[in-house]
Amino acid sequence: MEWDPATPPVAVGLVGAGPWAATMHGPVLAAGPQTRLTAVWARRAGAAADLAARLDTYAAGSFEDLLSRCEAVAFAVPPDVQAELAPRAARAGKALLLEKPLALDLGGARAIADAVTESGVVTQLVLTKRYHPATRAFLAAARDFDAIGARSRYLHGAFLDGAMATGWRLTSGAMYDLGPHLLDLADAALGPIEHVHATGDSRRWIELTCRHHSGAVSQMSLSGAVGLAASHAGIELYGPAGTLALDFGTVDHAECWPVLRAEFAAAVRTGVPHVLDVRHGLMLQQLLDLAAVSS
């Protein structure tokens, strides 16, 4: 995606210094040319200092210090921390690059959405798969596909060991971490989801059944606790004409990040909200809340 060199890059401050911040948010935002990473702040000052040094940027001494050095804030923190800090950033007039889910409960997600509405800042969600060309081609084809049902899956073993086997992911499980991806894709491919029912244990294996406004039914299998060499992930639509499928288990995220960065910068510079904004995140949170109540 072309970027006019006469347009100044968006100054972004990064909140968080964990594995995801270090492998995705930080390097991607620092790479430019549409953005420049102006500061890193985290509750663990040492980790923030290490990441800032690695990315040749400033280690902020406080959240307020970070806000004073940027025009947009990217969050790479647990959902409950995002729910606490994102409203403060929005009220300070900063554009927000938000992780999914917005929060661990509907109240936290609404607090972010309300602050964004009050301040009028631009927001965008890091729904990784949506920025890949294969996903966009699939969703374009889905518009002309008469689907009566769908099956999808997101299965891996990252919660068994390693950097992701900590904190909120172990407590809230696959429904909150992986569920937003499948709910988003099903909603985009088959139309608005009106109801969700969950069966199982989000920390082990959980099934979601969705009823769409179109009358279609979609089913989702989610687990982060299965021993697989690589994730099994994708969605298949079924209808009178046959099937339409997307396999994103082997998606190269390196193809997603430049698109995400460019679209976020364009949204900030034009003031035009991205389609995957905080309102979309709130819709996904409402679906997660429905599923949690039903389980």
Contact 66, 15 (CB under 8 A): yes
- Reading the block at residue 283, the tokens are 């819709």
Which structural domain, as residue segments, surrounds residue 137?
133-251
Query: Per the structure, how many domains does the chain have?
Result: 2
Q: Answer yes or no: is pLDDT of 4 > 80.
A: no
Return the amino acid letter for 152.
S
Q: Are residues 201 and 67 in the same domain?
A: no
Q: Are residues 166 and 64 in the same domain?
A: no
Residue 166 pLDDT: 85
In a domain, 231, yes or no: yes
Lay out the sheet containing 72-75: strands in order across. Answer: 58-59, 35-41, 10-15, 72-75, 95-98, 123-125
Q: What is the mean pLDDT of the chain?
A: 96
Looking at residues 56-67, what average pLDDT do you find?
A: 98
In a domain, 4, yes or no: no
In a domain, 116, yes or no: yes
Q: Which has the closest alpha carbon to 220: 190, 256, 241?
A: 190
Q: Answer yes or no: is pLDDT of 1 > 60.
A: no
Backbone φ and ψ of 89, nearest 5°: -65, -40
Instruction: Tell the burial category of 162 from Cβ atoms under 10 Å away from its Cβ (0-12, 13-18, 19+).
Output: exposed
Percentage of residues in the chain having pLDDT higher than 70: 99
Q: Are residues 177 and 193 in the same domain?
A: yes
Backbone φ and ψ of 208, nearest 5°: -115, 135
Residue 220 pLDDT: 98
The model's pLDDT over 33-54, given as tens digits with 9 standing for 90+, comes to 999 999 999 999 999 999 999 9
Return the amino acid letter for 231.
S
- Reading the block at residue 6, the tokens are 């006469």
Looking at residues 266-277, what average pLDDT do you find?
A: 96
Q: Are residues 119 and 264 in the same domain?
A: yes
Residue 294 pLDDT: 82
The model's pLDDT over 72-91, given as tens digits with 9 standing for 90+, comes to 999 999 999 999 999 999 99
In a domain, 287, yes or no: no
Interatomic CA distance for residues 237 and 113, integer angstroms: 31
Contact 236, 244 (CB under 8 A): yes
pLDDT class of 163 with cuts at 50, 70, 90:
confident
Backbone φ and ψ of 5, nearest 5°: -60, -15
3 state DSSP class of 157: coil
Q: Answer yes or no: is pLDDT of 295 > 80.
A: no
Contact 104, 83 (CB under 8 A): yes
Helix axes 106-119, 278-294, angle to 10 degrees: 160
pLDDT class of 2 with cuts at 50, 70, 90:
low
Whole-prediction pTM value? 0.96
Q: Are residues 29 and 76 in the same domain?
A: yes
The model's pLDDT over 240-265, given as tens digits with 9 standing for 90+, comes to 999 999 998 878 889 999 999 999 99
Q: Are residues 139 and 231 in the same domain?
A: yes
Q: Answer yes or no: is pLDDT of 202 > 80.
A: yes
Looking at residues 165-171, what average pLDDT do you find?
A: 89
**DSSP conformation class of 24:** I
Residue 126 pLDDT: 97
Q: Are residues 97 and 139 in the same domain?
A: no
**DSSP conformation class of 272:** P
- Reading the block at residue 196, the tokens are 């969700």
